[in-house]
A = this chain, B = another copy of it.
Amino acid sequence: MAGRPAGTGHFERPQLDEVIKKRFFYGPSFDIYGSVSGLYDYGPAGCALQANIIDLWRKHFIINDSMLEVDTTCLTPAEVLKTSGHVDKFADWMTKDKTTGEIFRVDHLVEEVLEGRIRGHREATGVKVEAVEESDEKKKRKKKVKSIAAVKLDEATLEEYESCLAKIDGYSGPELGELLVKYDIRNPANNAVLEPPIQFNLMFDTQIGPTGQFKAYLRPETAQGQFLNFAKLLEFNNSRMPFASASIGKSFRNEIAPRSGLLRVREFLMAEVEHFVDPNDKSHDRFDEVKETVLRFLPKQTQLDGKTDILEMSVDEAVSSGMVDNQTLGYFLARIFLFLQKIGIDPTRLRFRQHMNTEMAHYACDCWDAEIHTTYGWIECVGCADRSAYDLSVHAKKTGAALVVREALKEPLVEQKWIPQINRKDFGMKFKKDAKSIEAAIEAMSIQEKEEAASNGCINVVGQSISPDLVKLELKEIVSNIREYTPNVIEPSFGIGRILYSVLEHAFWCRPNDVERGVLSFSPVIAPTKVLLVPLSGNAQLLSLLPGLSAKLRALEISSKVDDSSAAIGRRYARNDELGTPFGITIDFQTVEDGSLTLRERDTTKQIRAMESEILAVLDDLVRGRVAWSDVLAKYGEFSSTEA
């Protein structure tokens, strides 16, 4: 493919938004009911684009690495998400304007107001503000904001604001509350003082069954369903480690204030990998295949310094220097990069940002986000977290299930271990049917916990306090031939909607000779439709050739679309440039005579002419990326239509 010509990168977002709407890539759900913020429906073009991205994802990740795909439910019992920590911690901080009832997400408000003040300062000092960085929503809100004016700030304040913004994802709720006070941040619309921040849980809740007593949530991620099936998956994999599971499905987050189109929504498609690995050995046997890949890193220390400078280095260097913790994490960062590049993300507008310790999700011990640059700024599109043994451990502890790997040792291992001595009779009498799960929970205690319990003379587990006359912990020397461990989890997690939107932005440009004519330069592999069939006119002879050609393309599994409307041929092609259709076949009177067809390429608008069978073979190669358009053009020569 030719791709977007150099120098056509800049565009105004409203122009792209218009194409997205007009060609129905997606639109607000429940539009005729006034729509609901944060919910979007995909039309035929968006749906096909999404399906192609997912298909490529499945091949690039699941098939390439023989991952075990699972499909688990969205409905999730409250108990599961209580255990995973989501009921207590999966929340954002909100603040209310008591006078109007308006609710703000605190970190977004702080960001917006401080950015506004910096902009005001720049205006006051005569620096031009970059338009591209500013979103529509912000522009709209800016109009409402009274306090933003061209006010000069002193150097120290300016630096403080900038440093605060660089760290904005890392503040706790109380810290955000302090920022509201310290920087006197109020409701921008009416200058009212805001309430101290409170937590708002982001999960949608419901009840299962007719009793109204069984509380459940819609899952906020697909990960938990994979963890809960760990034992079955390990068995399916013939107990071999390491292995990965993967899942593609909807997740739900009740955002306080959805914004920025597909970038912050309440229902979205995720694709997640959970790679289970030995905590003592996070090497990856295919690391060598990707180690030369050069990525653009933004490590946590740079951000803590209030900076955003990019560090370019190979994954190999990043891992061996210790900046990226281990090979498996490094392997996935490289694979994520290759995937994003394949679907059309501009690699110069992609960076890997490390989470700061304060911003990390409650389960993560290291995390890198693949961030893509768009007109909304840098957008987190893929998270790649090392969740350690967190999830498997908490679920095992809660349920007594053995979410562990048992590995035969080559040499026996001699260890000091705390062994529970159980008074079976009394223990069984006291706990009855719970006895088994309590015993499992004791087994699952960490060494530290067992040590403490032994010195306290009392075991506290799953809400039970167990005295030494029932269970005593004794330190014994154990010789084992089996090593038992809880795997760690490396999790690449993809927000498909955000990626899809970024692909749209990176593919969009306007014909330099006609800025009204937008083009979406999708690579053929993800383009919703691969080829447009255009009869030159409504003549019956021309139309009669369409069904046969369509059937041949269907047999080749090349998706095609007919445009036999009465619009001029140029207009029909322009319409399909906006749909990102990479190729077009024209059927004209010459076709009726000799069976030859013209094939047009979207980005160059150049054509070749050849016999049908040859055109189909060329198209098959082009669509599957086996040949480039420039080579095709060189081979057949450019054809200049005399008819069109």
Contact = CB atoms under 8 A, between A and B. Distances in A.
A525 to B, nearest CB: 13
A232 interface: yes
Contacts of A638: none
Contacts of A29: 72-73, 225, 228
A75 interface: yes
Contacts of A200: 210
Given A31-B228, A41-B229, A225-B29, A74 B77 contact: no
Interface stretch (A63-71, A159-167, A304-312): A63-71
State the oligomeric state as a number of copies. 2
A211 B44 contact: no
Scoring A32, A79, A207, A229 by chain B CB atoms within 10 A of each residue's CB, the highest score goes to A32
A256 interface: yes
B44 A69 contact: yes
Nearest to A265: B73
A234 to B, nearest CB: 11
Contacts of A267: 73-75
Assign chain A's interface to a size class: 35 or more
A208 to B, nearest CB: 6
Interface string A460-472: 0000000000000
Contacts of A69: 44, 47-48, 51
A589 interface: no
* Most B CB within 10 A of own CB, among A30, A68, A395: A30
A204 interface: yes
A206 B206 contact: yes
A517 interface: no
Contacts of A47: 69-71
Contacts of A74: 74, 250, 252, 267
Interface in A215-249: 216, 218, 225, 228-229, 231-233, 235-236, 238, 249
A48 B36 CA distance: 34
B206 A77 contact: no
A32 B70 CA distance: 16
A420 interface: no
B73 A210 contact: no
B73 A40 contact: yes
A457 to B, nearest CB: 31
A565 B240 CA distance: 10
A40 B48 CA distance: 28
Given A71-B50, A236-B43, A250-B74, A80 B206 contact: no
B33 A103 contact: no
B205 A206 contact: yes
B36 A77 contact: yes
Interface in A17-39: 23-24, 27, 29-33, 36-39
Interface in A490-513: none
A210 B75 contact: no
Contact of A75 (B70, B207, B228, B252): B252
Nearest to A41: B72
A209 interface: yes
A39 B214 CA distance: 14
A43 B70 contact: yes
A15 interface: no
A225 to B, nearest CB: 6
A80 B33 contact: yes
Interface in A183-206: 200, 204-206
A236 B24 contact: yes
A256 B214 CA distance: 13
B63 A33 contact: no
Nearest to A231: B32
A208 B36 CA distance: 9
Nearest to A399: B32
Nearest to A227: B32
A211 B76 CA distance: 23
Contacts of A27: 229, 232
Contact of A70 (B30, B41, B225, B238): B41
A395 B395 CA distance: 46
A254 interface: yes
A240 to B, nearest CB: 9
Contacts of A32: 228, 231, 395, 399, 401, 403
A121 B308 CA distance: 82
A94 interface: yes
Nearest to A34: B399
Contacts of A43: 68, 70, 229, 232-233, 236
Given A27-B232, A33-B80, 7 more contacts: A32-B403, A36-B214, A36-B216, A41-B73, A47-B70, A64-B554, A200-B210
Q: Which 7 A-B pairs have the closest CB atoms?
A: A32-B401, A42-B71, A41-B72, A44-B68, A204-B206, A32-B399, A47-B69
22 contacts: A29-B72, A30-B228, A31-B228, A33-B77, A36-B75, A36-B77, A36-B214, A41-B70, A41-B71, A41-B73, A43-B68, A43-B233, A44-B68, A44-B70, A47-B70, A48-B69, A63-B554, A64-B554, A66-B561, A75-B204, A208-B266, A210-B254
